[in-house]
Amino acid sequence: MQWQTEDLRICFVGDSFVAGVGDETALGWAGRLLARSAQAGRPVTGYNLGIRRDTSTDIRARLREEVERRRPAAAELRLVFSFGVNDATATDGGRRVPAETSRANLIHCLDVAGAAPVLFVGPAPVDDADHNHRILLLNNDFREICEDRGCTFVDVFTALENHDVWRQQVRDSDGAHPRSAGYAALFELVAPAWDDWLRG
């Protein structure tokens, strides 16, 4: 496996799934990706900027400051985004973030990223059919935007929706977050795209 050799910093920006909530090993999928690279002889400096309950609107509000604080003067910065589950959460008035606002927020985040390479990990399914329907629609919207902007998009929803370990662990937990084995399954879905993205 051939890696780039320059100093590389990567910000993982998103919600509780980025933070790895529920993983008893405290690695989540982001930590596993960083460990994978280090074990392959390509260590990077990773910043986990996942905040529980954050929507795309919350992320939009904090993104520029978060990124600028970590943008190195003499090193490459890349961004990994993952959000959407909280946007699609039902409220009395509809949903926490309207779909059109979610789309606009992603576009804004990509604008803030500028020339920095972006990897977007799509939102994961939860233990609620109606919520999952809204997540799937948003997943498809996000994929289209990323493809239009030339960003790498990883669809984890499709595989995890029928993944026995993921579904069981989410159901046995809080209805949204898995434990370690579930995060390992998500990591396995992202890892091939991650490897290709780092080579680019």
Sequence-separated (6 or more) residues with CB below 8 Å from residue 12: 18, 30, 46, 47, 48, 49, 50, 80, 82
Q: Please say if the pLDDT value at position 93 is more than 60.
A: yes
- Using alpha carbons only, what angle is made at residue 52 by residues 46 and 54, rounded to the nearest 5 degrees? 95
Domain limits for position 162: 8-199
| Domain count within the chain | 1
Is 38 contained in some domain?
yes
Q: Which residue has the higher pLDDT, 74 or 58?
A: 58
What is the CATH classification number for the domain harbouring 21?
Answer: 3.40.50.1110
pLDDT digits (tens, 9 = 90+) for 145-180: 999 999 999 999 999 999 999 999 999 999 999 999
- pLDDT-derived band at 6, boundaries 50, 70, 90: low
Is 31 contained in some domain?
yes
Is 1 contained in some domain?
no
Report the pLDDT value the prediction gives residue 3, as an integer from 0 to 100: 46
Is 139 contained in some domain?
yes
Residues 184 and 115: their CA atoms lie apart, in Å, by 30
Is 3 contained in some domain?
no
Give percent above pLDDT 90 in the chain: 92
Is 28 contained in some domain?
yes
If you average pLDDT over residues 30-40, what whole number do you get?
A: 96
Report the pLDDT value the prediction gives residue 1, as an integer from 0 to 100: 46
Is 2 contained in some domain?
no
Is 188 contained in some domain?
yes
Report the pLDDT value the prediction gives residue 72, as an integer from 0 to 100: 77
**165: closest CA among 180, 150, 147, 146?**
180
Residue with tokens 């074990």: 39
Q: Please say if the pLDDT value at position 71 is more than 50.
A: yes
- pLDDT-derived band at 43, boundaries 50, 70, 90: confident
If you average pLDDT over residues 131-158, what whole number do you get?
A: 99
